[in-house]
Each structure stands twice: as structure tokens, then as C-alpha cells.
Amino acid sequence: MSKEYKIFTSGAMSGLSSEEQLRWRWKLEKEIKSRIDKNITYIHPPLFFDYDYPDQKIVKEWEINQIIDSDIVVFNLSNIRNSIGTHIEMGVVEAVNRLGGKHISTVGIGIPNTDHPWIQSGIFYQAKDIEEAADFICTYLVI
């Protein structure tokens, strides 16, 4: 029996249509599936909650729990500057990795639209595009 992996996709949702929120996530999932045949659960937050969900405490708790349970978190860096939720999700991964007992790998896609050094230091591997991210995930993380 092979290990089941869980990939959480993190990226801005505010000001984006549902289609814009999901386009890169679906493309990443498709690229990974075209490269390997592994048991992978994908958690794409826009499929579970709208950005305007009335009780954001529930959304935050749910997302933090999903991240903690994940093996890999993929960050869309292209619009991270004003995405407070993405910053918090990155911090959750940092905390889990520092506390020990579990390690969550992080992959960033694209060039951050901010030069804050903590964004760069929070990413294990930074890919230029979705295809490169999928290659890295399939070659080194989902083995």
C-alpha cells in the first residue's frame, strides 16, 4: 500500500473570481496527475469556502487544520503581497516545521509581488511556473 499525500494550495482569493482563484490550482493538479499515479488529496480552499463566508473564524480554523495535516503546501507567489491569509498560512507551516514531529514541504510558484525577505525564506523550493513546480513535487516530494 502506497502512502497517501495531501497537497494544500495557498494563494490570494480576495478580489478574484472563483475561476481566477481556481485556475492555477486546477492546472497544478492536472500537471501532477499527468506525471505520476499516486494517491494524492488536493485541498483547494475556494472549493470549500467563499472569500466572503460569514464566519471567518470557522474558515481560519478549517484551513489551519488542513495545512497541519498536509505533506506539501504550494503557494502562489504572484499575488501574495496583499494576501494576509496566505501570509498566515505560511506562518503556520513555519511553526509546524519548527516544533518538530512533522515536516511540511513548501513550494512557491512565480515571482512574489513583494520583496519582503520572509516570503523568500518561507519557501523550500521556488518554481518559475506550474510545470516546474509539478516536476519538483513529482521528482522529490511525492516518492
Per-residue pLDDT tens over the stretch 117-140 = 888 888 999 999 999 999 999 999
Taking the alpha carbons of 5, 10, 13, 17 in that order, is the dihedral positive or negative?
negative
Q: So what's the pLDDT on residue 100?
A: 85
Ranges of the chain with pLDDT below 70: 1
Query: What rounded mean pLDDT belongs to the chain?
Result: 94
Q: So what's the pLDDT on residue 142?
A: 96
Q: So what's the pLDDT on residue 1?
A: 58
Q: So what's the pLDDT on residue 115?
A: 87
Q: Are 6 and 71 a contacting pair, CB within 8 Å?
A: yes
Calculate helix-pair angle for 56-68, 84-99, nearest 10 degrees: 40
Q: So what's the pLDDT on residue 68?
A: 97
Helices (H) and strands (E) in the chain, counts: 5, 5
What structural domains and CATH numbers belong to the chain? 4-141 (3.40.50.450)
Q: So what's the pLDDT on residue 128?
A: 97
Q: So what's the pLDDT on residue 2?
A: 77
C-alpha cell at 77: 507567489
Q: 55, 125, 118: which is closest to 91 by C-alpha?
A: 118
Q: So what's the pLDDT on residue 87?
A: 93
Beta strands in 85-124 (DSSP E): 105-109
Taking the alpha carbons of 93, 32, 42, 140 in that order, is the dihedral positive or negative?
negative
